[in-house]
Amino acid sequence: MIRSFKLLLLGALSVLVLALAACGDDNSSSSSSSSTGAPGADDNAKALAVEGKQGGTLLELASSDVDYLDPGQTYYQFGYQVQYAISRFLYNYTPTKHEPVADLADGDPEISDDQKTVTVKLKEGVKFAPPVNRAITSKDIKYAFERGFSKQVNNQYRFYYDSLEGYPKDLTDGVKDVSGITTPDDQTIEFKLTKPVGAFFANALVMPITAPVPQEYAKSMDAKNPSTYNDNVVATGPYMVKNDSKGALTGYKAGKSIALVRNPNWVKDTDIRPAYLDAINIRTNATDANVAAKQVLNGKNMILDTNPPANILRDLVTNIKGQYMQVGAGGSRYLSMNTTIKPFDDVNVRKAVLAGINRDALRLARGGKFIGPIPTHYIPPGLPGFEESGGDKGFGDEFDYFQSETGDPEVSAKYFKAAGYASGKYDGSGPELLMIGANADPGKAVAEVARDQFEKLGFKVRLRLVPQDSVYTDWCQAPVKKVAVCATAGWFKDFGDAQTVIQPIFDGKAINLQGGNNNLAQLNDPTVNAAIQKGITAKAEDRPQAWADANKAVAGAVPVVPYVWDNTTLVRSENVNGVADDNASSLWDLTFTSIR
């Protein structure tokens, strides 16, 4: 018997629908951050109800550059936003619909009774953009997976697929065959698994790694380290980065701009996206959010990709009724504490920091109460496992270091003393701690508050501010840089499962010393690791509680200081009918947005 993809996910997704309604704004003046609400849901529905006008060029002001244009490498919200415009995945989402729908796939995946085989049929008539110009086959998706497991591409979320037969434990040198991925014919791809995790594996087929890559075109690029495919990406979606006859991306100027034009080989009848716009120009590294927000609000044909600063956010919520939308991001902002660097190798020090820091001050620096609630644990509202973790109240008095939003000196002192610091504060011994933050607001403001908070607790801190696009790739994700505190950290769901907000950033197996490391705290706690493994193999009906248990284990280890369950505020010009991607990127959906 073959089980339906949708039925297997229904339990999790029905919970998710209650609180998602927009991930990463239009007509709302609501500042609600309730765990049961869905910021932006009504506004997104209203925007979708407006028949989009075909044509026009949209200008997006972006606070940073993409991390990568290569779908096998990107793992950053802005990178996702661009990917959804230029690439097609096996499965995807549409705004306000929180269960996966077939994109390249021709229907739901077939999952075997033993949960160890997942089979996907592909649509016919879908082609690569120029200069490849041929029909996409299952072999292109097999190659996309395999290259993502190589050193040359180094896909950062490959651990979601470690149940594949033949999955390489370490990154391969060059693209190698994975025996668990087979292609019986050009329209069929089959995944054989070593563990009964078919439901979760199928859920993960919404990720960018499933975007097809033509081997004959990319092979020579993927032989280089790093791969140069990022500069020569071939589109499959409704838009493409402007390129030359050989495929080089002439429309991408690193740190400056991205020019998206229509993919001439895109066939609307095969896609789930309307793609109203003729072209999209993105100005990257528009680092002054105050200036950028005002330009968008007062201009035409413009959108902003980042939260506006606090003063403009307050004005939007209280005075301006029609040019923003707030969407629940399904994740949190936090300060990481590197557990391999003293004194953060001591869990009591980490508890003391969480207890003592004024997290409301951190949230205020990012925009205040309008941007979302202060966390009481690590699974955000709307995901299965949130209610099982105590919801808004959290795990209770046992975790007293989580109780205060403004900092509790007595509780903080208790844990500092337990760590051996008799004064109730850190004694400042040891080398100066390196803290990394973004050089543009609101990240810059948060980092400066974080530095002050750590110094009040007795730490000596050296704050280094860098461009947002290098915060992760060049610093916080690079263990060799010995970053003690990443002050501009955030993590958001990859799809509607609590595993996506716990495993990637807290599992010891997720530590990548070669770079691209998302476990910023480098937490490798046996109790946490064991709880995560139980969550991974849990049956569908047991997953919410299993991940709540893993959440509790992480809360006991305190690897990071979470200060907001994020809502993203998106700003648009008055003549733009903005539709938000409320599933993955938490940004404007470029393929549903139109000009009025």
pLDDT over threshold 90, residue 76: no
- Mean pLDDT along residues 289-308: 93
**Residue partners of 589: CB distance under 8 A and separation at least 6:** 81, 84, 95, 579, 580, 581
What is each CA distance from 76 to 89, 232, 253, in whole angstroms?
17, 19, 18
pLDDT tens string 190-241: 999 999 898 889 989 999 999 999 999 999 999 999 999 999 999 999 999 9
pLDDT tens string 546-568: 999 999 999 999 999 999 998 88
pLDDT over threshold 90, residue 86: yes
User: What pTM was computed for the model?
Assistant: 0.77
Q: Which of 24-38, 53-67, 363-377, 486-500 has the lowest mean pLDDT?
A: 24-38
Per the structure block, which two tokens stand in for 341? 């660097």
- Mean pLDDT along residues 486-510: 91
pLDDT tens string 88-127: 999 998 887 767 899 999 999 999 999 899 999 999 999 9
User: What integer pLDDT is reported at residue 39 of this predicted model?
Assistant: 55
User: What integer pLDDT is reported at residue 430 of this predicted model?
Assistant: 83
What is each CA distance from 351 to 158, 347, 418, 522, 588, in whole angstroms?
31, 6, 10, 16, 37
User: What integer pLDDT is reported at residue 308 of this predicted model?
Assistant: 85
User: What integer pLDDT is reported at residue 40 of this predicted model?
Assistant: 66
User: What integer pLDDT is reported at residue 109 of this predicted model?
Assistant: 96
What is each CA distance from 27 to 180, 406, 413, 572, in whole angstroms?
48, 32, 46, 11
pLDDT over threshold 50, residue 11: no
pLDDT over threshold 90, residue 12: no
How far is it, in rounded angstroms, from Cα 578 to Cα 27? 10
- Mean pLDDT along residues 153-180: 93
pLDDT over threshold 70, residue 383: yes
Q: What percent of the chain has pLDDT over 90?
A: 73
Q: Quick one: which of 543, 559, 516, 554 has its CA closest to 158?
A: 516
- Mean pLDDT along residues 311-322: 83
**Which residues sit opposite 121 in a β-bridge?**
188
How far is it, in rounded angstroms, from Cα 331 to Cα 501? 7
